[in-house]
Amino acid sequence: MTIARSFLLSICPMVLLSVAVANAQTPDSTSGHLDPISATGVAQTFNYSVRLNSICNVSSPLIRLRDVATPIGPASTWWERASGVVIGMMPIDGDEMVIERDRLNIAVDQDASIPRIDWTGATSVRVRYVPAKVGSDTNPNLSKPPSVPLANTNSATLPSQRPVVLTTATTSMPDATANATTDLPALNPNDSDRVVRLIHFAVDRIDLSLRDSYDIIIDPAQIALRKLAEVRRVDRIEFLSPPTEGAISAKVFGVTSRHEIDQTIEISFVTRPMVVVPRESLRRGQIITSADLTLVPAPRGYPIESAITNIDDAVDMQVVNVLQKDRPISPTSITRPVLIERGDLVEIHVVGGGVTVATSARSLSKGAAGDLIAVETLEPRKKIIARVARSGLVEVFTRPPRVR
């Protein structure tokens, strides 16, 4: 018994030591094993918070992570390495571009040197290329507000964490924009036709009556249209002066496949010719008076040569076909009033040598004042040609006998 007790006392410490070592090597232990460290020197299980800015300026064609985002909290070693990663490139034409957070996240995940990021702030960022001035103080973090207000930007679209103050544009910016537009290539016929049609549709949405009163002309060769080459939709147009006869300036607000855009162009308004229309519908055979007529701009596409443009040309005329209200009157739809109908009994005056002889006849055709119609005398029955003088009266003029 003494030997057995001594044996048990000697092996107990060894058993306890074995169990402790086994527990230290189990996967459940939190102190015996650490996650592998990535090449960047930070654990992949950590979470890094970064705020996406809503707008930013860049002075280089390359867009880096630090241009569009700001770390939350003190910047550590990982941000010094990750902030310089290139995430995009500005368009060749220098236009503003928009980067969505989802697309930015995909681009960031493809770079193994950047840990998993927890994004906050805006859902998209607008990036504008502003060349750096010589001798100016350049800040490595260029995510400050631009000096020129963005189109359609208001406080409702900006994140509350980083309020943006828009300042007045410098005097050199308009000249730079004008030069940039001039340097753009001329539009091809397909693009110019598409842009002009989109602008016409936007004008119609403002006031459809403008198209009824004016011929709206947009010169597709004007340089200002070059900036709208990639526009896919025109949201609205603001006239800088009331539309009237002549050329006026208008600001076009549209959207390309990448960003919003605005541009001032020139639109010409040419007053459409006026045509005569009835105030109310006129029935066939009715005699037209001046009170029945008015002048309105000719409908678009209506041939002006087929319409009456002077009210006096239609007054005292007779309607041949029914005239509809507010529809242009064509010369063939009216005629001089018919004074004598076919079969009417008329009086004939035969005038010649200062002598007038009257007799009765029957008309063989209808006619208006001044028309020549055929009539047949009653006794004796003889056909002659007479001129309509008034209702129920025709005249025949004979040459007086010549004395030789």
Give 319-369 pLDDT, tens digit per residue.
988 999 989 999 999 988 888 889 999 999 988 877 888 888 999 998 888
The model's confidence at residue 74, banded by pLDDT at 50, 70 and 90, is low
Which domains can be identified in the chain, with CATH numbers? 48-157 (2.60.480.10), 180-271 (no CATH), 274-335 (3.90.1210.10), 339-397 (2.30.30.760)
Q: What percent of the chain has pLDDT over 90?
A: 22
pLDDT tens digits, 268-285:
998 888 999 999 999 998
pLDDT at 251: 93
By the 8 A CB rule, do 115 and 40 touch?
Answer: yes
Beta-sheet strands, E only, within 256-292: 260-271, 274-278
Q: Say whether pLDDT at 186 is over 80.
A: yes
CA dist 383 → 223, 342, 347, 371, 386 (Å): 76, 14, 14, 16, 10
Q: Say whether pLDDT at 241 is over 50.
A: yes
Q: Is 325 helix (H, G, I), strand (E, B) or coil?
A: coil
By the 8 A CB rule, do 394 and 356 touch?
Answer: no
The model's confidence at residue 147, banded by pLDDT at 50, 70 and 90, is very low
pLDDT tens digits, 10-42:
555 565 545 444 554 444 433 333 344 344 443
Give the residues across from 255 on adjacent strands: 233, 260
pLDDT tens digits, 195-235:
999 999 988 888 877 887 888 899 988 988 888 888 888 99
